[in-house]
């Protein structure tokens, strides 16, 4: 690697991390001052600093996902403007080095951050989605949350209850309503608690109901089948893992959806969203979710397109004004986000198909990026 390449990479990453840490610090200070009372109530008089450190540690990961593309463009434009300001770009081009070769390390570094952001979005954030989705007032892990009734679209079972406890994956006072065609077996199954159990071995995923209250004679009844598959498993057929006052209801509805689906819908990976779409496990799976799936797929390409929209504006100009570069960056990002968000909203209200709404910004901006970047290939 040449000395100039190392110099540009050092300048790029230095700018990126300074901007990221500065913006993250501003966010943390503002948010902490706004929610300090909620933190104190959840900490109950002790370890407030530890609670805030854990909360904002997760939020900083989410903040990186939200701002990485913008900060990458800002750092790239600032780096190129900086070497122009000190006549380093002019000297390199006078030595016969093409402009595109000079900025190549910056482009590769930006693509590297784009890949890191994609891994963060698809692997890290889904792993900690419950922690990231919580508001400061919901940090008490023992706190109850309202249950949002959900219909399992595969079985038509309505999942109801009083409260959910995310840390225990427990429903308090569950009340599962069976569909009309199966109400000869039981109209509803009521219990004291229900615990979500993921698939394990031959046992499907679903909810283990403990201390069943209705129907009274459920333990003596055989299991209920739906299209040849078990729907309600009773102790009559599974005495080895079900007690007399328990039953198991097979369901594809993930536990995270029961508090409104905020954690699952916003922070699940693309693969998890596609799986839920194929298995029809969402309640009212509207067009906005389909747009979100396509947007996840196209997002890395949009990030690279944004880079090639903004970088040539400073790399192919003779302007050495740093503030001019910042102004151009803000203008490009604003126009880009308005168009992307606008098309996504049209897809959400079904004026455009979900696929077209997500991919159309790429079709609009890629030709523009190619035209703008053409001077960068000149010597």
| Cα separation of the two ends of the chain | 21
Tokens standing for residue 264: 């699952």
189 phi, psi to nearest 5 deg = -120, 115
Q: How many residues belong to the chain?
A: 379
Contact between 221 and 230 (Cβ < 8 Å): no
Side-chain-side CA neighbours of residue 310 (13 Å): 34
What is residue 317's predicted lDDT score, i.e. its pLDDT? 59
Render 3-49 in DSSP notation, one character per residue.
Answer: HHHHHHHHHHHHHHHHHHHHHHHHHHHHHHHHHHHHHHHHHTTS-HH
pLDDT at 283: 47
Give 236-264 as a DSSP string.
Answer: TT-TTT--TTEEEEE----GGGGGTSHHH
| Nearest Cα residue to 372 out of 306, 324, 300 | 306
Contact 77, 16 (CB under 8 A): no
> So what's the pLDDT on residue 338?
93
Question: For residues 303 and 298, what is the distance between their CA atoms, to the nearest angstrom?
Answer: 9
Would you say 283 and 276 are in contact if contact means Cβ atoms under 8 Å apart?
Answer: no
DSSP β-bridge partners for residue 156: none
Tokens representing 39?
A: 């933190």
Contacts of the segment 218-224: beta carbons below 8 A, 24+ positions apart: 218/186, 218/189, 218/247, 219/244, 219/245, 219/247, 221/185, 224/182, 224/185, 224/186
pLDDT averaged per 10 residues, the chain (length 379):
84 94 93 86 74 90 92 89 79 79 90 94 87 74 74 86 84 91 86 90 88 87 87 89 90 76 72 75 65 90 90 69 72 89 89 90 90 74
**Hey, is 210 helix, strand or coil?**
strand
């Amino acid at each position: 690697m040449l000395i100039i390449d190392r110099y540009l990479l050092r300048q790029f990453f230095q700018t990126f991390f300074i901007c990221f840490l500065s913006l993250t610090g501003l966010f943390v200070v503002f948010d902490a001052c706004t929610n300090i009372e909620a933190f104190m109530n959840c900490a109950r008089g002790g370890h407030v600093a530890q609670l805030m450190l854990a909360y904002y540690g997760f939020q900083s990961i989410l903040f990186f996902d939200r701002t990485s593309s913008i900060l990458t463009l800002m750092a790239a434009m600032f780096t190129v403007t900086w070497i122009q300001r000190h006549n380093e770009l002019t000297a390199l081009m006078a030595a016969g080095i093409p402009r595109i070769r000079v900025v190549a390390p910056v482009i590769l570094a930006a693509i590297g951050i784009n890949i890191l952001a994609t891994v963060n979005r698809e692997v890290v954030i889904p792993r900690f989605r419950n922690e990231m989705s919580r508001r400061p007032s919901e940090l008490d892990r023992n706190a109850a949350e309202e249950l949002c009734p959900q219909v399992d679209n595969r079985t038509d079972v309505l999942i109801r209850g009083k409260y959910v406890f995310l840390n225990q994956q427990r429903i308090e006072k569950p009340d599962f309503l069976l569909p009309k065609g199966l109400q000869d077996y039981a109209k509803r199954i009521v219990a004291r608690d229900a615990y979500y159990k993921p698939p394990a071995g031959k046992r499907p995923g679903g909810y283990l109901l403990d201390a069943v209250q209705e129907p009274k004679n459920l333990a003596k009844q055989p299991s209920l089948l739906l299209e040849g598959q078990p729907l309600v498993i009773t102790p009559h057929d599974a005495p080895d893992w079900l007690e007399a006052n328990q039953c198991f209801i097979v369901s594809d509805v993930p536990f995270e959806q029961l508090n409104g689906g905020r954690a699952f819908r916003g922070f699940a990976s693309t693969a998890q969203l596609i799986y839920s779409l194929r298995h029809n496990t969402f309640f009212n799976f509207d067009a906005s979710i389909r747009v979100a799936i396509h947007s996840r797929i196209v997002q890395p390409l949009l990030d690279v397109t944004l880079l090639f929209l903004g970088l040539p504006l400073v790399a192919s100009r003779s302007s050495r004004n740093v503030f001019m570069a910042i102004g151009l960056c803000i203008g490009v990002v604003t126009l880009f986000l308005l168009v992307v968000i606008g098309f996504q909203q049209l897809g959400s209200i079904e004026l455009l198909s979900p696929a077209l709404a997500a991919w159309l910004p790429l079709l609009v901006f890629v030709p523009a990026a190619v035209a703008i970047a053409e001077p960068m290939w000149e010597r």
